[in-house]
Structures are given as structure tokens and as C-alpha cells.
């Protein structure tokens, strides 16, 4: 059974922002297990489930992206289907 720690952050919508994030995480060995985005009023809100939460937070902060701790949670995969646990 896999578990992913969730984090959420907002950023202005600009081309390449998600590619930059994924490339940085990949280079540091962070696996993205869940991924969702919301676009609202020119800003993108990204919800990620990662296997290395502390390192992911550090990278986001280093890039000026501030993750919202109030949205942290855990996703548990049961029979390959994600189940959200707040």
C-alpha cells in the first residue's frame, strides 16, 4: 500500500511552471503520486501528493512557492485506487 503526503500551493499562471516543478522534484528523487490543479483568476492552485514531504516543501520554499500547511493530508492507495484522508 502506497501513501502520499499532500501539499497545496498557489502561483501565478505562467507557461512552464509545472514543468519546472516536476523537473526539480525529479532531480531530487521526489515522486509525485497524485496531482491536481485549479485555475482561478489568473492564479493556479496545485495539489500534490509526494513521497518526500519535507524535501518537497523545502524545494517549494526555495523557489518562492509557499505551500499551505492547512491542506496537508494523506492519500492511501487501496487496490490501486486513491482514497483521501484529511
CATH code, 27: 3.30.70.260
Output the DSSP codes for 57-83.
HHHHHHTT---EEEEEEEEEEETTEEE
Q: What is the pLDDT of residues 18-40, one digit of tens each?
A: 788 889 999 999 988 888 888 87
Query: Residue for cell digits 512552464?
Result: 16
2 in Cβ contact with 82 (< 8 Å): no
User: What's the domain range around 41?
Assistant: 3-85
> What domain count does the chain have?
1
pLDDT of residue 67: 81
Q: What is the pLDDT of residues 35-53, one digit of tens each?
A: 888 887 877 788 888 888 8
In the chain, how long is the greatest CA-to-CA distance?
37
pTM score, whole prediction: 0.69
The Cα 16–Cα 13 span in angstroms is 9
Amino acid at each position: 500500500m502506497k501513501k502520499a503526503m499532500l501539499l497545496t500551493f498557489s502561483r501565478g499562471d505562467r507557461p512552464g511552471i509545472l514543468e519546472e516543478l516536476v523537473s526539480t522534484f525529479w532531480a531530487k528523487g521526489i515522486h509525485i503520486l497524485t496531482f491536481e490543479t485549479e485555475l482561478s483568476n489568473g492564479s493556479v492552485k496545485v495539489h500534490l501528493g509526494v513521497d518526500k514531504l519535507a524535501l518537497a516543501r523545502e524545494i517549494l520554499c526555495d523557489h518562492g512557492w509557499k505551500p499551505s500547511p492547512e491542506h496537508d493530508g494523506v492519500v492511501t492507495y487501496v487496490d490501486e485506487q486513491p482514497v483521501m484522508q484529511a
